[in-house]
Structure 1
Amino acid sequence: MTGRLPSLPLLPPDADGVTGVTEPALGPAGGPPALRADAARNRTRLLEAASGLLAECGAANLTMEALAAAAGVGKGTVFRRFGDRAGLFLALLDHRERQLQAAFLSGPPPLGPGAPADERLHAFGPAVLRHERDHHEVILAARTDPVRPYSVPAVRLRLTHVMMLLRATGAAGDAELIAHTLLGYLDTALVHHLVAGRGMSLDRLETGWHTLVDRLAPPR
């Protein structure tokens, strides 16, 4: 997946071609109102500066003070915009997550609409694995609360999406619990440990994902 994809509008029922299922909308449900154009530009400028600092010095050295200096604004502006360092990392993740969301909500099949649900589920795992591998430093730095990741809008959206695909495949069992099991396999900390700590290749992890999907949601 390359290039920057636009944010998506709310999708109508059955937009993905799966009868009787509504694809979740992009972004946090019930989130804050849209920013004014100038505020949105300022937020984007801060996030771009934060991305530059992240690439240059890593997550450990990305502080609110460093961001304020890089963006040429007061430290108070940064704190008002993001709340704290964890809020900054979550905003960065949201900024990057939208490309992944766009791919599985409206991109080409088999990840996006137009392919059978089981094929979309198989494609979902490798896409998320590579996303988690590429952004693990920011994701792990944002985890200041062990419970908070489960309530992040992007995670809730992934859960809803996987539940939708499981139900469309006719998989037996509790779709929500099975979806949590599948997403647990894609957890950033686990992926980083297996790749960096155990020296496993992404190809091996992807093969494991396909095996897990075949067992929990076998093709019809």
Structure 2
Amino acid sequence: MAEGRRERADAARNRQAILRATEELLAQYRPEQVSMERVAAAAGVGKGTVFHRFGSRLGLMVALMQERAYALDEAVTNGPPPLGPGAPPEERLMAFLDAVAELVGRNKGLLAALGHAATASRPEWREQGAQAGQVEDCAQGSPDDHPVYRFWHGHTSTLIAERRPELDAELLAHILLGSLQSEPVLRLLERGESARLAASLRVMAAAMLAAPAPS
């Protein structure tokens, strides 16, 4: 029993070391330069350990984003307002966009890495999706398919729909969040200008919520 607990503790430490090494490498190198071999060396583990834990570069990048986004998801679901339940939808949306901008600003290169890994791993992603019974979701190989984006999009579109049910909330949420994956925005984040990004997202969201109803 003690040996099993020790193995689980070692596995947890390895996981955190791998994720931390990946984040540090993404802050120093372009996404295509962050290989599984380089991550393993930086984390002080064998390459096989990285593949065993995460399966692929795409799996590693998604796991890193999920790890960093978990606290935000918890705050949105169970935390105090305005980020959590209880505030008007427009206040919750502004607070959420601020939090997203801060999150991606702290994890420079991660969104770009997700996009690069998705493109590089497209056949592998389809195979993984087929095994999970999610062929249609994974077949496109788009960053939009990863679970963090789906949660963010679902929350954003829900808040827009609550405030303005006559609008196309699903598309508007994609427009807001899709900007996070653009090259100019990624370069902005690399320069540490996440506050500028947050302010611009607020302007876009406010304009959406205040726009005249479509005829």
Shorter-chain TM-score above 0.5:
yes
- SS of aligned partner of 1:143: helix
Q: 1:38 to 1:106 in 2, by over 3 A?
A: farther
- The match for 2:106 is 134
TM-score by length of 1: 0.68
Structure 1 runs of 4+ with >6 Å offset: 36-40
Q: Structure 2 unaligned segments of length 5 or more: list them.
A: 120-140
Following superposition, the deviation at residue 210 of structure 1 comes to 2.1
1:27-38 to structure 2, matched below 5 A, reads none
The one of 182, 205, 212 equivalent to 1:213 is 205
TM-score by length of 2: 0.70
SS of match in other structure, 1:207: helix
Q: 1:208 to 1:193 in 2, by over 3 A?
A: same
Matched, 1:64 2:39: no
Aligned counterpart, 2:13: 45
Question: Counting helix residues as a fraction of each chain, which structure ranks higher?
Answer: 2
- Paired position in structure 2 for 1:170: 164
Report the Cα offset of residue 75 of structure 1: 2.8
Per the alignment, do residues 69 and 77 of structure 1 end up closer, same or farther by CA in structure 2, a change over 3 Å counting? same
Structure 1 residues 172 and 214, CA gap change in structure 2 (3 angstroms):
farther
- Show the counterpart of 1:5: none
Q: Which moved more, 1:201-210 or 1:149-158?
A: 201-210
Q: Is 2:89 the counterpart of 1:108?
A: no
SS in 2 for 1:217: helix
The separation in 2 between residues aligned to 1:66 and 1:92, in whole angstroms, is 16
**Alpha-carbon deviation of 1:67?**
4.4
In structure 2, how many angstroms separate the alpha carbons of the residues matched to 1:97 and 1:65?
25
RMSD (Å), alpha carbons: 3.1
Equivalent residue of 1:136, what SS?
coil
2:146 to 135, 145, 152: 152
Following the alignment from structure 1 to structure 2, what is the Cα–Cα distance between the partners of residues 134 and 99?
14
Q: Classify 1:44/1:91 alpha carbon distance in 2 versus 1 (closer, same or farther; 3 Å).
A: farther
Shift of residue 115, structure 1, vs aligned partner: 0.6
* Match of residue 175 from structure 2: 181
Indicate how the Cα distance of structure 1 residues 109 and 190 shifts in structure 2: closer, same or farther if over 3 A, else same.
farther
C-alpha contact (below 8 Å) 1:47/1:92 kept by paired residues: no
